[in-house]
Each structure stands twice: as C-alpha cells, then as structure tokens.
Amino acid sequence: MQDYVLRTNQLSKTFRGHRALDNVNLSIRRGSIYGFIGQNGAGKSTLIRLVTGLAFPTAGSIELFGSSEEKALIQARKRIGSSIESPALFPHMTAGENLEANRILRGIPGQDCVPRMLKQVGLQGTGKKKAKHFSLGMKQRLGLAIALLGDPEFLILDEPTNGLDPMGVIEMRELLKTLNRELGITILISSHILSELHLMASHYGIIHRGRLLEQLTATELDGKCRQYVYIKANDSDKATAVIQHELDTADFEVMQDGAIKLYNYAEQPSKISSALFSAGLEIEKFMPMGEDLERYFTKRIGGDPHV
Ligand SMILES: Nc1ncnc2c1ncn2[C@@H]1O[C@H](COP(=O)(O)OP(=O)(O)OP(=O)(O)O)[C@@H](O)[C@H]1O
C-alpha cells in the first residue's frame, strides 16, 4: 500500500455560488516534492487553506497521515509546517527573536530548536540584524524556518519563490531539495515559476478552474513532453516545403522568427539534416529538444498561456 501524507476525497469549496474547488481528489506520497500548478484563481490557495485548517470544505473530505476524522485531523495538522502568502514576521526583531516568539506562540517546547532552525535555512550568521533590514530572500528563508519549527513531516508552501531574484530562487530551491533529501520532509509547493518547479518536483498536480486536471510523476511528465528538433535554416519557406514533401510530415510548427520545431523524426535527426542539405539549404541551428513543463501545462489547460 502507498504511504500518503495527504489525500483529498471529492473536496469542494464554494464561495457565494462560485466553485473555487470542484470535487478534487489529490494525493501526495510521503517523501515527494509535489508541484502544484495552476493559473491565478485556479484554486491552489483555497486547497492549501482547507488542508491547513484555515477554511472549511463545502463538501468532501481531507485525509492527513491516514486520518480523516475531525479530532485526528487537528492532531495531524501539528505534523504540518506551512508558509502561506508572505511570511508574517516581527520587523523589529532579529531572526532568532522571530523564531523564539513563534515557538512560544505555538507552544513548541525546547529553546534549542531556534539555533538549529536558523542553521537549517542558512540564517545563523545574521546576529543582531532586524528582520526589517533583511532582503526578500532572507525574509522568505526566515518564513521557512518558522514553518520548520516543530520539525514537521509535511511542508506546505504557497509561492515560496514569489518576488525573489534569480539567486534567491536558486537558494530556496536548493534548500527545499536538501530538506526533502536529508530530512525526508514531504513538500507541497505551489508556484507560478514552472521552470523552477521542473528542477525540483518529483510529482505534479495541475489544477484549472477548481478542477484537478491531472496528477503525474516527473518521469511520466518527461515521457509526455514531446521531443522535437529545432531547425533554423536560411530559407524557412523552402525548409518547410522540404519537410512537408521530402519527409512527408505536417507535424511541425513555424515560429515567428522562421525557426521550425519538427516533432516527427526526432529520433532520426540525420534523416532531417540530409533532406535539408540535399535541398541546398544552409542550416544555422539544428538542435534536438524536449518540450518543457510550461508548454505541457499550457496545452493541458487548453492553450491559455497565462499561468
Ligand atoms: N474568501 C473568498 N471569497 C470569495 N471568493 C474567493 C475567496 N477565496 C478565493 N476565492 C475565489 O476562489 C477562486 C480560487 O482562488 P484561489 O485563491 O484559491 O486561487 P489560486 O490558484 O491560489 O490563485 P493565486 O495564484 O492568484 O493565489 C478564485 O476565483 C477566487 O476569486
């Protein structure tokens, strides 16, 4: 039997007649990094709020660590750490003081966890610096440290890389991967930065207009992302004609700059190149490529590119 940290059963949430979540059956395996993908308003935050107990479902149920009964859910939620929206920090306090205040507020025993959490997120050297003087990346890491108080088994993060610069995004990604790998923490992460999710998620859930369209593993995604050959020739019209007539396929796209993405013959690139050379074309670029998560997602939700 699979070991799941979270399963939802026909989970629905309606706001004044509007279905923000519509019969969602989502499941997250222990040890995974689950990338939760959806456009603005798709229902990601609503699901996260229901799971963390910040809101109640209209219908359906939630199972956490195998329990779905009301009282057991309250206990199970103590095994979750979450960072939802921007972290609520005390601006006039240092990183250590922020953690200590949160530890007391949440009734977590043992002061010694504070320096441990600071070290875990790489903020151990911030000394007397107050949180209001932290960079956004440092604030996000402090928010993560607060979520890690109590040594959660399951971490829920809503857009943790929102607003970070490229270095901050890389740091956060590496930190989350380490927490998953070394401490075995299961992570649910919602993000708009799909290329970023692609570098860390082991599983994906795609939500659109409140409905969970698909759940798939990273390996399944790789299998579904179609391979193609990217071709930039000196004469795009002639190259397309060669592809259509000599290679006898219409499975290609012509980009605005005249580059061609040829989905057929991706496993036999030499067939493509020799057909183009034989027609006297000069090839400026010729690269076997794979579709990325962003493209797959766009296709899956029906072509609307606004994630
Ligand atoms: N408290 C609320 N009252 C009324 N409608 C709400 C409320 N919370 C969410 N909604 C609506 O439910 C839908 C889902 O919103 P939700 O915030 O879950 O989306 P999201 O995927 O998290 O989007 P974003 O990435 O913008 O945060 C939206 O149409 C939103 O307007």
The interface pTM score, or ipTM, of the predicted complex is 0.94
For residue 240, is pLDDT > 90?
A: yes
Q: With a 6 A CB cut-off, is 45 part of the ligand 1 pocket?
A: yes
85 lines ligand 1 (CB under 6 A): no
Question: Per-residue confidence at 262, pLDDT binned at 50, 70, 90?
Answer: very high
Label residues 10-23 b or e (16+ Cβ within 10 Å = b).
ebbbeeeeebbbbe
- The residue whose CA is least distant from atom 31 of ligand 1 is 41
Confidence of residue 239 (pLDDT cuts 50, 70, 90): very high
13 CA distance to ligand 1 middle (Å): 10
User: Does domain 4-222 fall into CATH 3.40.50.300?
Assistant: yes
Pocket flag, ligand 1, residue 46 (CB < 6 Å)? yes
CATH architecture of 226-290: 2-Layer Sandwich (3.30)
- Ligand 1 centre distance from Cα of residue 14 (Å): 10
pLDDT in tens, 175-226: 999 999 999 999 999 987 777 788 899 999 999 999 999 999 988 887 777 7
Instruction: Give residue-wise pLDDT tens across range 125-173.
Output: 898 999 999 988 888 889 999 999 989 999 999 888 877 778 888 888 8
- Going from N- to C-terminal start, the domains of the chain cover 4-222, 226-290
